[in-house]
C-alpha cells in the first residue's frame, strides 16, 4: 500500500518575497518554484543532481534545487534567475549582461542555472575558496580558464556553448 501523502504549509523567502504554499512534504525547491510559485526561470534537466540546470542560490550559495526539499529550505533566502537583476525587469545582473554580450548560450535551457552558478562561484572565489585545480589552496588568486571550467563543471550545456560561457564569466571576474 502506498504511503499516505502528507501536506505541509511551507513558507519560502524567494527573491526577497515571503511566499507560502501547501505542499506535499516530498516537494523539492525546484518543483515548488516551478509548479507552485510560477517561477519557471529555473529549469529541470535531469531531476537527479547531475546537470545543474536547476541551480539557484540558497543563502548565497549555489545549490541544485532538485535535491533540496522545500520543507528543509524554510528560513533560508532563495535567489532564482528572476531575482538576480535590479528591481526593474530591464536591469540585469552583471553576469546576465556578460552572457548577452558574449553570446554565451544557444537554446538557453541551461542558461539560468549557468548564471546562478556563476554568481555563486564568483562569490566563492572572491572569498578565497580554492577549487580542485587551484595551485595555491590558501590564496587561489585570479580565475583563469581552467579555474572557471573546473568551478563550473557541475553545469552541463547540451548545446556545447562552453567557450562563450567561460569568456562571459571571465569578463565579469576581471
Ligand atoms: S535538474 Fe537538478 S541537477 Fe539536473
Ligand atoms: S545553451 Fe542549450 S543547453 Fe546550454
Report yes or no on whether pTM surpasses 0.75: yes
Which atom of ligand 1 is the closest one to the Cα of 66? 2
Instruction: Using DSSP, state whether 120 is helix, strand or coil.
Output: helix
Helices 111-126 and 162-173: angle between axes, nearest 10 degrees: 40
**Inter-residue long-range contacts of 84-93, CB under 8 Å, 24+ positions, other chains counted:** 84/115, 84/116, 84/119, 93/119
The label of the residue with cell 520543507 reads 71
Cβ atoms of 157 and 108 within 8 Å: the answer is no
Predicted confidence at residue 135, as pLDDT, reads: 86
Q: Which ligand is closest to the CA of 48, given by its number?
A: 1
Cα(7) to centroid(ligand 2), Å: 35
26-71 pLDDT, tens digit per residue, is 999 999 999 999 999 999 999 999 999 999 999 999 999 999 999 9
Average pLDDT, the chain: 94
Predicted confidence at residue 109, as pLDDT, reads: 98
Report whether pLDDT(89) > 90: no
> Residue 156: enclosing H or E segment and its boundaries?
none
Q: Ligand 2, residues 44, 53, 104, 111: which to mutate, most atoms within 8 A of Cβ?
A: 111
Give mean pLDDT, residues 88-114.
95
Amino acid at each position: 500500500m502506498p504511503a499516505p501523502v502528507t501536506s505541509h504549509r511551507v513558507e519560502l523567502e524567494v527573491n526577497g518575497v515571503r511566499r507560502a504554499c501547501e505542499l506535499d512534504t516530498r516537494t523539492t525547491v525546484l518543483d515548488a518554484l516551478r509548479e507552485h510559485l510560477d517561477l519557471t526561470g529555473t529549469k529541470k534537466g535531469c531531476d537527479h543532481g547531475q546537470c545543474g540546470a536547476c541551480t539557484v542560490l540558497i543563502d548565497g550559495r549555489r545549490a541544485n534545487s532538485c535535491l533540496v526539499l522545500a520543507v528543509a529550505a524554510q528560513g533560508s533566502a532563495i535567489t532564482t534567475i528572476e531575482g538576480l537583476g535590479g528591481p526593474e525587469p530591464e536591469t540585469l545582473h552583471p553576469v546576465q549582461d556578460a552572457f548577452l554580450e558574449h553570446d554565451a548560450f544557444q537554446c538557453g535551457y541551461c542558461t539560468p542555472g549557468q548564471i546562478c552558478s556563476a554568481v555563486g562561484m564568483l562569490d566563492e572565489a572572491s572569498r578565497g575558496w580554492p577549487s580542485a585545480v587551484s595551485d595555491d589552496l590558501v590564496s587561489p588568486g585570479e580565475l583563469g580558464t581552467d579555474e572557471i571550467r573546473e568551478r563550473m563543471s557541475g553545469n552541463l550545456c547540451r548545446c556545447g556553448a562552453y567557450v562563450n560561457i567561460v569568456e562571459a564569466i571571465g569578463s565579469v571576474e576581471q
